[in-house]
Amino acid sequence: MLLQNKQIAIIGAGPGGLTLARLLQLKGLNVKVYERDLNKDARVQGSPLDMHEGSGWAALREADLIDVFKKNVRKGADKKVIVNERAEIIFSDHKTNPVESEGSEPARPEIDRGALRKIFLESLQPDTVVWDSHFLSMQAQNDGWLLHFKNGTSAYADLVIAADGANSKIRPYVTPIKGFYSGVTMVEINIDDAEKTAPNIYKLLNGGKIMAFGNGKCLLGGQKGTGGLGFYASFKPDENWAANSGLDYMDKAEVLAWFKKEYAGWSSAWYELFENATMPAIPRPIYCMPLDQTWESLPNLTLLGDAAHVMPPFAGEGANTSMFDALELSECLTSGKYNTLKDAIAFYEKSMCKRASAAAKRSLENGERMHSDDALEKMLAVFGIK
């Protein structure tokens, strides 16, 4: 095997990085995951994820985690409500989309991000994840890399896989290609104990997710297993809006005033989200890698997930794509089909870039639809709703 007796370092403990660690450990390989978070509880996990049959679901099967995954599926979380800016229900599948029966495999099962992370963490060997390891730099050493972290520690690896997200610090070691601004910025807000703090919106979601369209803007939200809500106000400002808006994202009143102005014409029913949000609100300019990106493969370093192909979230492909990256990369590294690590990595990267390009194209196209003046009609058509 190409990686026999070699040390593998995965940078980043997101869905892609943890999936890869699990798959490689099942093959008996030596893996460490270096994560910048102080510990497993340091990060607030966002809205639920839906697992797609050919990607995230496939990776979970190969990781032998289907049974424990099913125990954590959010029943009914895949149900959706589509409304206009006045919070009037245009479509709901809560009565026509039955909850999956016990033991069945739903088409697109939903799970909280925190629950998914916990499943993978508990599947790994003890001390696989090295917490408080904020990657700073690395240098070539022997046939591998010497990694340096903010806490003053260093570690050697024969193979490094960057799974450190959209702002990857490892990507520049592979390619100088940078992402472009998609034209969309999202402002994330989270509401705790929503049944009490935002009862009207909580009732509207009814345990599922919601999409609201109007005036070239949208609100996207979903219920978390903790009883909270995660929402994104999505609109099309210039690229530097987040830094130049002057908003104090810790100030609830300021953020609410911004929403009232930016989303003029939207119902006051939405205000309870901002009035009861847990600060700070988080602005997220949305970037995408060029659809035709390519680079010369290296024998000891590669990328997966957002580090390789950050894209808009409007096709629900982000986590699923990164988990499938992990599945395909693990197969390339362990199948015995390739003579060298560089050959294995090159095959994976070519396939990965092609898949990611197609997903990114769909995401960009959906993003344009969702922020158009007639977004509601267009999105109803996408879902086949008359």
DSSP string, 211-272: EEEETTEEEEEEE-TTS-EEEEEEE---TTHHHHS---TT-HHHHHHHHHHHTTTS-GGGHH
Q: Tell me if 306 is assigned to a ligand binding site.
A: yes
Q: For 157-166, what is the mean pLDDT?
A: 97
pLDDT at 91 over 70: yes
What's the pLDDT score for residue 226? 76
What's the pLDDT score for residue 47? 63
- The residues, any chain, with a CB within 8 Å of residue 296's CB and separated by 6 or more, are none
pLDDT band for position 103 (cuts 50, 70, 90): very low
Q: Tell me if 192 is assigned to a ligand binding site.
A: no
pLDDT at 100 over 90: no
pLDDT band for position 94 (cuts 50, 70, 90): confident
pLDDT at 102 over 50: no
Phi, psi of 258 (to 5 degrees): -60, -45
Note the pTM of the prediction, 2 decimals. 0.90
The domain spans of the chain are: 7-73+110-178+290-362, 180-288
Burial of residue 95 (CB within 10 Å: 0-12, 13-18, 19+) is: exposed
Closest C-alpha among 216, 234, 259, 232 to residue 48: 232
Looking at per-residue confidence, does 276 or 106 come out higher? 276
What's the pLDDT score for residue 44? 57
What's the pLDDT score for residue 155? 98
Q: Which residue has the tokens 């010369």?
A: 296
- In this structure, what token pair is assigned to residue 361? 């194209």
What is the spatial distance between Cα 135 and Cα 184, in angstroms, rounded to a whole number? 28
pLDDT at 97 over 60: no
Q: What is the SS3 string spanning 313-382?
A: CCCCCHHHHHHHHHHHHHHHHHCCCCCCHHHHHHHHHHHHHHHHHHHHHHHHHHHHHHCCCCHHHHHHHH
Q: Tell me if 43 is assigned to a ligand binding site.
A: yes
Phi, psi of 49 (to 5 degrees): -110, 145
What's the pLDDT score for residue 106? 52
pLDDT band for position 21 (cuts 50, 70, 90): very high
Whole-number average pLDDT of the chain: 91
What is the spatial distance between Cα 40 and Cα 371, in angstroms, rounded to a whole number? 36
CATH 3.40.50.2000 holds for 7-73+110-178+290-362: no
Q: Which residue has the tokens 């009914």?
A: 76
What's the pLDDT score for residue 316? 77
Do 180-288 and 7-73+110-178+290-362 fall under one CATH topology?
no
Chain segment 344-361, per-residue pLDDT in tens: 999 999 999 999 999 999
Q: Tell me if 113 is assigned to a ligand binding site.
A: yes
pLDDT > 70: what percent of the chain? 95
Hey, which CATH number is domain 180-288, 3.30.300.30, 1.10.10.1110, 3.30.9.30, 3.40.309.10? 3.30.9.30
pLDDT > 90: what percent of the chain? 76
